[in-house]
């Protein structure tokens, strides 16, 4: 939802009426972001918890709450040492960070790594990994509780990931969504989608709106492949890194067959098995190294929705997007 001097447009009022408790003002993202280097969807999730209303007093209170949460729990890289010390002294502390997990097959345990906090090999229960498999591929922004338990055994990490909650919606009411959609005309719904991705529809013609919304198709359609070339600063990669927790953006375009498709030695499925959309930023260029095996597998996957490494043929649903500057 957009805003102009805190006055709701007729469309904004209609959105609030049919999607109660699910509306977030886009302009609030900048208000609460400060110097936190996090995707927009992380901030929108927090705003959705505390500011999903049109009441100005409630919004002001919610903004203060979100700012307080970020101030207390978001990990800035330059403050990582202070946060680690806080965890040690308190024994337990809640943080907001990007978490990735790997299997330590020598010890038969899963170990978590925190992007900003700098902690590696934090123990995490296998149940949490099974519940959130994307932790194993690319990592997920989470609200996590970390504990510190010192031990004399140098082989055992003192860090324990006690609990975590991915920053994304845990439930989606599809029937309610379809019913609410029926109250909007096609043109109104185009404007709703434009506002959802952060654009003011008043500044776009119909064709321009459709071109912007076309970037969302890979999130909605399985195995939909898209390429976009254009000038810098036109939002090509922004939509795949900031808009949704269900897509992953690979900057620089460098990726390997095991990371993207499957690791033959471990049998572990790659990015295409866990994400709705895999986007490659700056995928072309004179400095890029061409892996012929990767190109061949990628072409077969995009054409047939399957890939083969060895004796087994596997399928996946992830869409692929390629963006580059002209």
How is 18-74 classified by DSSP, letter by letter? HSTT----THHHHHHHTT----HHHHHHHHHHH--SS-HHHHHHHHHHHHHHHHHHB
As a whole number of angstroms, the distance between CA 40 and CA 243 comes to 7
- Supply the pTM of this predicted model: 0.75
CB atoms within 10 A of CB 10: 8
As a whole number of angstroms, the distance between CA 149 and CA 157 comes to 8
Q: What is the pLDDT of residues 13-26, one digit of tens each?
A: 999 899 988 888 88
What confidence score (pLDDT) does residue 119 get? 93
**300-311 burial by CB neighbour count: b if 16+ within 10 A, else e?**
ebeeeeebebee
pLDDT at 225 over 80: yes
Q: Tell me if residue 262 falls in helix, strand or coil.
A: strand
Region 40-57: what's the mean pLDDT? 86
As a whole number of angstroms, the distance between CA 39 and CA 143 comes to 14
Residues forming a β-bridge with 280: 250, 322
Q: What is the pLDDT of residues 171-224, one digit of tens each?
A: 678 899 999 999 999 999 999 999 998 889 999 999 999 999 999 999 999 999
As a whole number of angstroms, the distance between CA 265 and CA 254 comes to 21
Q: What is the pLDDT of residues 241-289, one digit of tens each?
A: 888 888 999 986 578 888 899 888 777 888 998 899 999 987 655 566 6
pLDDT at 128 over 80: yes
Mean pLDDT for all residues in the chain: 88
Residues 6 or more apart from 175 whose CB is under 8 A from it?
none
- Specify whether the CB–CB gap between 111 and 146 falls below 8 A: no
Residues 6 or more apart from 43 whose CB is under 8 A from it?
29, 32, 33, 36, 66
Q: What is the pLDDT of residues 130-171, one digit of tens each?
A: 998 889 887 889 999 999 998 888 778 899 999 999 887 656
As a whole number of angstroms, the distance between CA 241 and CA 248 comes to 6
- The upper half-sphere exposure of residue 250, i.e. CA atoms within 13 Å in the direction of its Cβ, equals 20
What confidence score (pLDDT) does residue 170 get? 59
What confidence score (pLDDT) does residue 5 get? 47
Parallel/antiparallel/unpaired status of strands 92-104 and 109-114 = antiparallel
Q: CB pairs under 8 A, 24+ apart, for 265-273?
A: 268/136, 269/137, 269/314, 269/316, 270/137, 271/137, 271/138, 271/318, 272/301, 272/307, 272/316, 272/317, 272/318, 273/137, 273/314, 273/316, 273/318
The tokens describing 268, both together, are: 């572990």
As a whole number of angstroms, the distance between CA 206 and CA 283 comes to 29
| Percent of the chain scoring above 90 in pLDDT | 50
195 membership: H or E segment, kind and range: helix 186-196
More confident residue, 109 or 52: 109
What confidence score (pLDDT) does residue 11 get? 93
What confidence score (pLDDT) does residue 232 get? 87
As a whole number of angstroms, the distance between CA 254 and CA 148 comes to 36
pLDDT band at residue 80 under the 50/70/90 scheme: very high
What confidence score (pLDDT) does residue 264 get? 80
């Amino acid at each position: 939802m957009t805003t102009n001097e805190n006055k709701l447009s007729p469309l904004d009022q209609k959105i609030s009426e049919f999607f109660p408790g699910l509306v977030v003002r886009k302009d609030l993202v900048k208000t609460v972001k400060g110097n936190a280097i996090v995707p927009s969807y992380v901030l929108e999730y927090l705003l959705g918890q505390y500011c999903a209303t049109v009441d100005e007093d409630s919004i002001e209170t919610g903004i203060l709450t979100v700012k307080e949460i970020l101030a207390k729990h978001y990990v800035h890289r330059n403050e990582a040492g202070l946060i680690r010390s806080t965890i040690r002294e308190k024994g337990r502390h809640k943080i907001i960070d990007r978490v990735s997990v790997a299997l330590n097959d020598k010890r038969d345990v899963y170990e978590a790594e925190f992007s900003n906090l700098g902690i590696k090999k934090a123990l995490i229960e296998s149940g949490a990994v099974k519940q959130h498999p994307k932790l194993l591929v690319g990592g997920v922004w989470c609200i996590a509780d970390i504990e510190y338990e010192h031990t004399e055994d140098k082989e055992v990490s003192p860090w324990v990931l006690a609990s975590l909650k991915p920053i994304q919606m845990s439930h989606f009411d599809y029937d309610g969504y379809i019913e609410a959609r029926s109250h909007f005309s096609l043109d109104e719904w185009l404007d709703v989608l434009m506002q959802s991705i952060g654009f003011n529809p008043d500044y776009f013609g119909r064709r321009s709106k459709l071109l912007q919304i076309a970037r969302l198709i890979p999130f909605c359609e399985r195995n939909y492949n898209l390429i976009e070339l254009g000038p810098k600063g036109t939002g090509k990669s922004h939509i795949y890194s900031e808009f949704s927790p269900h897509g992953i953006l690979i900057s620089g375009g460098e990726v390997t067959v095991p990371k993207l498709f499957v690791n033959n030695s471990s049998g572990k499925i790659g990015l295409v098995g866990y994400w709705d959309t895999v986007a490659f930023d700056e995928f072309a260029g004179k400095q890029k190294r061409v892996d012929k095996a990767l190109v061949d597998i990628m072409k077969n996957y995009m054409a047939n929705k399957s890939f083969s490494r060895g004796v087994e043929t596997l399928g996946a649903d992830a869409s692929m997007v390629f963006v580059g500057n002209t």
